[in-house]
Amino acid sequence: MPRSAQSALLQVLEGNPNNKTKKELKKRQKAEKEMLVSAENMTSPSWLDKTAQKEFSRVVDLFKDTTLLNEADIFTIAQYADLTSEFISCTRRLRKNGKTIDGKPNPDLRLKLQLSAEIDKVTKTLGLTPAARASLAIAKSNIEDDHTEGDDDF
């Protein structure tokens, strides 16, 4: 399977596996800066229920002092919030009805496991897991080290 596109800085951090020249990397970095998206209007979509809207707001507030999330990420944040809301509803139904119904597994049990797997994928994408944040912190510290060493390293 082909690799996903990576930012120029991330390529440098990984030791430039694509063997790009410094000129190519600088050109790519300039293009990426021109494509930056605003984070000024981070409002939840109207189709989210109240629980999902609260979770959406919580995530946006968590990252408001960073440049990690922006308006291009609204749908992904909403997807996470919606999955979380459904997971909570599913958990409540399981508590109310039990894990079995008439001796058979409650369908909500399977749904809860499926939702959990999807939530796990989206949380990693958004940097909401400790491992994802650690990776982001490592990448950021390496980028800062590269900038303090001078332009010749890029």
Q: Which residue has the higher pLDDT, 37 or 95?
A: 95
Q: Residue 102: how many CA atoms within 13 Å on its side-chain side?
A: 1
Residues in the chain: 154
pLDDT in tens, 128-141: 888 777 776 666 66
User: How far apart, in Å, do the first and last CA atoms of the chain sit?
Assistant: 28
Q: In the prediction, which pLDDT does 134 show? A: 74
Percent of the chain with pLDDT over 70: 69
Could you tell me if 72 and 35 are in contact, meaning their C-beta atoms sit under 8 angstroms apart? no
